[in-house]
Structure 1
Amino acid sequence: MTAPYASDPAASRGRLHDEGRDATRGPRDAFQRDRDRIIHAIAFRRLGHKTQVFVAPDGDHYRVRLTHSLEVAQIGRTIARALGLNEDLTEALCLAHDIGHPPFGHAGEEALTAAVADAGGFDHNAHTLRVLTTLETPYPRWPGLNLGWETLEGLAKHNGPVAGTPPWALAEADAAFPLDLGTWPSLEAQVAALADDIAYDNHDIDDGLRAGLIDLAEVVAQPLVAPGWAAVSRRLPDLAPEARVAELIREQIGRMVNDLLAETRAAIARAAPGSVDAVRAAGAALARFSPAMTVEERAFKRFMYARLYHHPSQRAIAERARGVIAGLAAAYRADPALLPPHWRDRLPPDEPARARHVADFIAGMTDRYALARYRALIGPMDLGGWV
């Protein structure tokens, strides 16, 4: 049984393109279909070869965008079930939230944004909507996956209301199918955003230690981590510190999930939303960490930026990755004949659409494909990696 404030697939605001009724597609409801469409999308499969933290990693054990998205979905479903939310919508949002990322993570995004600045730039969140509504084309009668309103709304606003002028790609999606950008999204979307935080706060510890870029003693001294480390050490005093890391990650995820559940239940009790529209009209997020954990989590992010994400070796690789994206964008914009035939044949005649078309092509690349195209068009490039 779902709560009254959960999203209801039977009350969905529908899809942009009417699909009629097709009994051959099985007993799935609207949100289940959206989840399945995302899983079967080519753009989702490409996440298996896109950077999460480490650019083009050589080791098989590091997270990539795909494995990260699966971990987010697992955490998101657990939270949704505990709160009486719709698990399928939550899972769909978790699985799709990173589909708009270009190759090489944030380094690739920075380079692509600069390369098409004259055409409105690039934003990975907005590009997620563009991929799902325009670029992914498995259906003969309309562009995109034709996802339901609630799924598109949750992806557009998973970080909260969109203030000011939205990025051009999001503005286009909103113009075609208005998504009420100024309101808070459903609780399912709010949970998906926090599940993302929980997943990467913790799996980045694992990957950072594996790469030797962060120090275990420094990590466990952080206020967010110290209580969990103390609990693990009490339970497993005979294990060497390095052997306790996997248990620490499980402990940390559990602590953060339990904190979120307690705080969110309290916020829901105070607001008493009787419907998902009441959640949207609440004026603030109802899914949240406690104030103490919020402070600790933000401090931990600052620590990880300083020690891991901006580590000198990471910055050096990121700089080379930016060069790959910048070089590809310059080459394709200067000579669109270099695009593959399918992309070349659909090249718009005028700007800014031409530059955006080139950005769409580059953003869809995997890390390894981007490197291969750079080497073929421009010259040798060795990013380095992690064994």
Structure 2
Amino acid sequence: MINMARYASDPRASRGRLHDEGRTEIDSGIRGPRDDFQRDRDRIIHSISFRRLRHKTQVFVSPDGDHFRVRLTHSLEVAQIGRTIARALGLNEDLTEALCLAHDIGHPPFGHAGEDALEEALADHGGFDHNAQTIRTLTQLERPYPRWQGLNLTWEMLEGLAKHNGPVSKPTWALDEANSLMDLDLNSWPSLEAQIAAVADDIAYDNHDIDDGIRAGLLSIDQLVTLPFIAERWEDICDRFPDIEPDRLVFELIRDQIGLMVNDVIETTQKRLSESGVTTADDVRAAGMMIGGFSETMAVKERALKKFMYANLYNHPEQLEAADKARIVVADLVKVYREKPSLMPQGWAHSLPSAEPERIRHIADFMAGMTDRYASKCHHAIFG
């Protein structure tokens, strides 16, 4: 708080929470001396949906290897990068960290393959979007408190999750539903903390997915150095460590890449803040542009890396085969739960709405909360 910049989000100036928590244990000090954004972060960490991320796909579906990343470890890595950038820029580190930790909570099992299956299942009922599902999970499906649904997060937290990639002109049904309860000002830009959380996500998965791809044998250094900016970095690393075998230098490449991207974001964001004349958090939202992010030069390189990763890792034949199987698992389960809802756990089956679209959305809520291994277990139990 002491070194925060004026354009940072200040918990003392928060727009509040949907439910007034009144004089509870919070006021008495029983639950510790934390501000609102610290509480948001802690509520995420202690949530059931956050714990489930440890068994949800990041790159590889239900990875057999203990060393591959999952949604949980990815979220922790994003938080580390986000917090580093936030500190350098004088932003609120707790809000940035909370946004980073929560950003993937709405992902269903099997990553984008599972999301595609749910999108198809809900095609006639508003579709499925993991970002909006994150907010739905945190505002309705999590229920640790006796007097309200959800985690009762601050406006700034929900706003950042809703529009970390910029203004939302056409919200999905789930986001529109959340916005009707608490106006998130969807047409404006988000806080700098949310902008930094978004770019930290890009930095983390762009580089850590390289590590996982090489570890799985689906990527090689020879492929990577076809990208000029990777080749330049790799040549420099080999010159610095001429007596070290290449396999051990992959980690150095990833560290260097992350460092270059982080430094670029810090320098670029500082420059844009200076040029735009932004001085307050409200100025950030009214700036009409994304202030926190890559320079144009780095953005071009980052897009080239993403294109490479899609061509060589995400759309690798082995990955596509696994994704096809995963889509079948999710699609089969949605279909059987629609036909025989009694196969769902008792609480979910008893609370199933009788009319559409609420009925299929309820099933999607159940499905989206599944981990990879639980979805596989349910499918095996029903279909063999």
- The amino acid that maps onto 2:303 is R
Partner of 1:286: 291
Q: Are residues 1:54 and 2:56 paired?
A: no
Match of residue 338, structure 1, among 314, 337, 343: 343
Query: Secondary structure of 2:215's match?
Result: helix
Match of residue 16, structure 1, among 18, 23, 30: 18
Q: How far, CA to CA, are the matches of 1:115 and 1:224 in structure 2?
A: 41
- The amino acid that maps onto 1:166 is P
Partner of 1:222: 227
Query: Secondary structure of 2:145's match?
Result: coil
Deviations 1:94-132 (A, max 9, x none): 000000000000000001110121221110000000000
Partner of 2:4: 2
Q: Note the C-alpha offset of 1:203.
A: 0.4
Match of residue 303, structure 1, among 282, 285, 308: 308
- The amino acid that maps onto 1:204 is D
Q: How far, CA to CA, are the matches of 1:223 and 1:13 in structure 2?
A: 46
Q: Which moved more, 1:345-354 or 1:179-188?
A: 345-354
Partner of 1:195: 200
Partner of 1:150: 156
Partner of 1:352: 357
Query: Secondary structure of 2:289's match?
Result: coil
Q: Note the C-alpha offset of 1:241.
A: 1.4
Q: TM-score, normalised by structure 1?
A: 0.96
Unaligned 5+ runs, structure 2: none
- The amino acid that maps onto 2:375 is A
- The amino acid that maps onto 1:14 is G
Partner of 2:280: 275
Aligned alpha-carbon RMSD (Å): 0.9
Q: Note the C-alpha offset of 1:177.
A: 0.4
| C-alpha contact (below 8 Å) 1:224/1:300 kept by paired residues | no
Q: How far, CA to CA, are the matches of 2:208 and 2:372 in structure 1?
A: 20
Q: Are residues 1:29 and 2:29 paired?
A: no
Q: How far, CA to CA, are the matches of 2:236 and 2:337 in structure 1?
A: 54
Q: How far, CA to CA, are the matches of 1:262 and 1:224 in structure 2?
A: 19
Q: Note the C-alpha offset of 1:370.
A: 0.1
Q: How far, CA to CA, are the matches of 1:340 and 1:224 in structure 2?
A: 51
| C-alpha contact (below 8 Å) 1:224/1:293 kept by paired residues | no
| C-alpha contact (below 8 Å) 1:138/1:144 kept by paired residues | yes
Q: How far, CA to CA, are the matches of 2:63 and 2:223 in structure 1?
A: 24
Unaligned 5+ runs, structure 1: 380-387
Deviations 1:21-68 (A, max 9, x none): 322221100000000000000000000000000000100000000000
Q: How far, CA to CA, are the matches of 1:288 and 1:228 in structure 2?
A: 21
Q: How far, CA to CA, are the matches of 2:233 and 2:90 in structure 1?
A: 27
Q: Note the C-alpha offset of 1:231.
A: 2.7
Partner of 1:385: none
Q: Note the C-alpha offset of 1:221.
A: 3.0
Q: How far, CA to CA, are the matches of 1:177 and 1:306 in structure 2?
A: 40
Deviations 1:130-187 (A, max 9, x none): 0000000000100000000000000001111112x21110000000001011111000
Q: Note the C-alpha offset of 1:11.
A: 0.2
- The amino acid that maps onto 2:38 is Q
Give the count of matched residue pairs. 378
Match of residue 168, structure 2, among 159, 162, 166: 162
Q: How far, CA to CA, are the matches of 1:234 and 1:280 in structure 2?
A: 45
Task: Provide runs of 4+ in structure 1 moved above 3 Å.
Answer: none
Query: Secondary structure of 1:225's match?
Result: helix
Q: Note the C-alpha offset of 1:217.
A: 1.3
Deviations 1:221-251 (A, max 9, x none): 3134233223322221111211100111111
- The amino acid that maps onto 2:343 is L
Q: Note the C-alpha offset of 1:347.
A: 1.0
Query: Secondary structure of 2:381's match?
Result: helix
Q: How far, CA to CA, are the matches of 2:287 and 2:115 in structure 1?
A: 33
Alignment of 1:226-237 (within 5 A): 226-237=231-242
Q: Which moved more, 1:222-231 or 1:110-119?
A: 222-231
Partner of 1:138: 144
Q: Are residues 1:83 and 2:81 paired?
A: no
Partner of 1:108: 114
Q: How far, CA to CA, are the matches of 2:184 and 2:51 in structure 1?
A: 26
Query: Secondary structure of 1:25's match?
Result: coil
Q: How far, CA to CA, are the matches of 2:352 and 2:334 in structure 1?
A: 14
Q: TM-score, normalised by structure 2?
A: 0.97
